[in-house]
Amino acid sequence: MTQKKPGIIRRFFRFIGFIANAIRSLFGLIFVGLFVAIIVGMFADEMQPIPNKGALYLAPSGILVDQKSYATPFDQILIGDQRQDAETLVRDVVDALGFARHDNRITHLVLETDYLMGGGISKLEEIGAALMRFKQSGKPIIAVGDNFNQQQYFLAAHADEILLNPLGSVGITGFGNYNYYFKDALDSLKLNINVFRVGQYKSAVEPLLNNNMSAQVKREASELNSSLWQFYSSRIEQLRELPDGAIDNFANNLHLKLKAINGDSSALAMEQDLVDQLATRTQMLAYLNEVLPGTDGKFDSIGMNAYLNHIDAISPSSAAATADKIALVVAKGTILDGDQPQGSIGGDTLAGIFAEVRNDSDIKAVVLRIDSGGGSAFASDIIRDAITATQKKGIPVVVSMGSYAASGGYWIAAGADRVLAMTTTLTGSIGVFGVVPTFEDSLAALGIYSDGVGSTDIASMMQLGRPLTEQSKIIFQAGVDNIYTRFIALVADGRDSTPAAVHEIAQGRVWTGEKALELGLVDQLGDLNDAIVVAAELANLEDYEVDYRRQPLTVYERLVMEMNSNIGASLAGLGISGWLPESLQQQAQIILKPLQVLDTLNDPRGMYLYCGNCPL
The CA angle 458-347-81, to the nearest 5 degrees, is 110
Residue 236 to residue 105: CA distance in whole angstroms: 30
Catalytic residue among 68, 123, 202, 515: 202
| Dihedral (CA of 560, 562, 564, 567) sign | negative
Helix, strand, or coil here: 334? coil
The one-letter amino acid at 208: L
Residue 218 to residue 212: CA distance in whole angstroms: 10
Phi/psi of residue 501, nearest 5 degrees: -70, -40
Residue 117 to residue 55: CA distance in whole angstroms: 23
Residue 422 to residue 401: CA distance in whole angstroms: 7
Residue 516 to residue 529: CA distance in whole angstroms: 20
Write out the DSSP string of 62-129: EEEESSPPP--HHHHHHH---SS-SEEEHHHHHHHHHHHTT-TTEEEEEEE-TTEEE--HHHHHHHHH
Write out the DSSP string of 339-407: ---TTSEEHHHHHHHHHHHHT-TTEEEEEEEEEE-EEEHHHHHHHHHHHHHHHHTT--EEEEEEEEEET
* Residues whose CB is less than 8 angstroms from the CB of residue 262 and which lie 6 or more positions away in sequence, other chains included: none
Active site residue 407: yes
CA 222 vs CA 216, 219, 234, 616: distances in Å: 10, 5, 18, 11
Residue 45 to residue 523: CA distance in whole angstroms: 41
Phi/psi of residue 115, nearest 5 degrees: -100, 5
Rounded to a whole number of angstroms, the CA Rg of the chain reads 27
Residue 608 to residue 496: CA distance in whole angstroms: 25
Q: Residue count of the chain, please give it.
A: 616
Return the bridge partners of 109, or none.
56, 141
Catalytic residue among 344, 372, 380, 407: 407
Q: Give the N- to C-terminal CA distance of the chain in Å, as an integer.
A: 83
Phi/psi of residue 372, nearest 5 degrees: -150, 140
What residues are annotated to the active site? Answer: 202, 407
